[in-house]
Structure 1
């Protein structure tokens, strides 16, 4: 099985971790949600490892090219759709770290709309003979998406701990909650902006490469 190598095994492991994340996040308990936070960190860092291994060891396969972006999207879906459910009645005792205490639908529309559009547009570009490499804006977008996701998972874990331990101190109410909330808001806002910006850069790269291809004929 030429597709079965270490980078692809790591990618398949990330898919398994993504499947585990949603039910772990739905369980209202500090221990299980702290475990979910650790699972997410492992999954997020594995995305850096498998790509570097595949390139450095010349283990790039068609299977890896197909499954690696699928694993990334599955991890994104497992967390953000769960956040949306929790913030819209799934767990009313924990306010979502965003204005109004819920995750807006338009954030999901931007994040997943971009992913769907890029997937379809990449196929269109390939049919025209244009291959667009991953850019710095797209990689930075993924970094801030992971930062925001990790911050939100940890937010839910700490609110579970607050209920279990009855935290009602000035530090919790006046320092930690506002700091954590605004950190999550800032990182999620940057992620959304970079999502739109990276799409614009991607389309501009396609336009430039397509013009170069036509000029070279």
Structure 2
């Protein structure tokens, strides 16, 4: 008996449109973040607003796609690209603004891990399924909060005097959260590659 074919959702749907908007927002976010070498309070606030909108729509489009059965191959490819492009731009922008070798080391480590995992998922994992674990989800949450805090101009000298002390506290809190996110990024990345190796080894042994 012939099984009825399940109609695939169109690529032109709301989750994919939101994903494309996130990708288009990346250069605007980067440009706003780096106006006047990152020393414009107003533009840093605009960059933060763009970052927040992107992260919120990331959650919304995923929920809509799953609940309405609108998961597509295009979405599976574009969604992680949009996420990594936005957070990657944040890391690069922050490294440029703070102009510290340590920030560049952190940025390179994170970008190598994030893009290698993403490209591996998209290229060679058709037979290997590695679900997002709790550590990866925690990493994403901490990373977004930390980066969002660093995008804000907490230490800008143009801030009112009464903001200097709380600004320093919030800045260092964001630094700590970002540091924790980097550790989680490395650990979750190692777990991911180990899981891939184990599954591929198991498949070869069949």
TM-score range, shorter chain: 0.7 to 0.9
Residue 102 of structure 1 and its aligned partner are, at CA, apart by 6.4
**Structure 1 partner of 2:177:** 187
User: CA separation in 2, counterparts of 1:117 and 1:12?
Assistant: 21
State whether structure 2 residue 65 is matched by structure 1 residue 62: no
2:125 counterpart SS class:
helix
1:2 counterpart SS class:
coil
From 168, 171, 188, give the equivalent of 1:198: 188
1:103-147, Cα deviation, whole Å (9 max, x unpaired): 5222012101102321343356426x2122222222211111111
User: CA separation in 1, counterparts of 2:124 and 2:135?
Assistant: 19
Residue 199 of structure 1 and its aligned partner are, at CA, apart by 0.9
Structure 2 gap ranges (5+): 1-8
* Larger mean Cα displacement after TM superposition, 131-140 or 70-79: 131-140
From 132, 142, 145, give the equivalent of 2:143: 145
TM-score, normalising length from structure 1? 0.80
**Structure 1 partner of 2:91:** 80
Q: Give the conservation status (yes or no) of the 8 Å contact 2:26–2:86.
A: yes
Q: CA RMSD in A?
A: 2.3
**Structure 2 partner of 1:168:** 161
**Structure 1 partner of 2:31:** 23
**Structure 1 partner of 2:15:** 7
Residue 214 of structure 1 and its aligned partner are, at CA, apart by 4.4
Q: Give the conservation status (yes or no) of the 8 Å contact 2:77–2:122.
A: no
Q: Give the conservation status (yes or no) of the 8 Å contact 2:143–2:177.
A: yes
User: CA separation in 2, counterparts of 1:211 and 1:186?
Assistant: 38
User: CA separation in 1, counterparts of 2:45 and 2:120?
Assistant: 38
User: CA separation in 1, counterparts of 2:75 and 2:123?
Assistant: 20
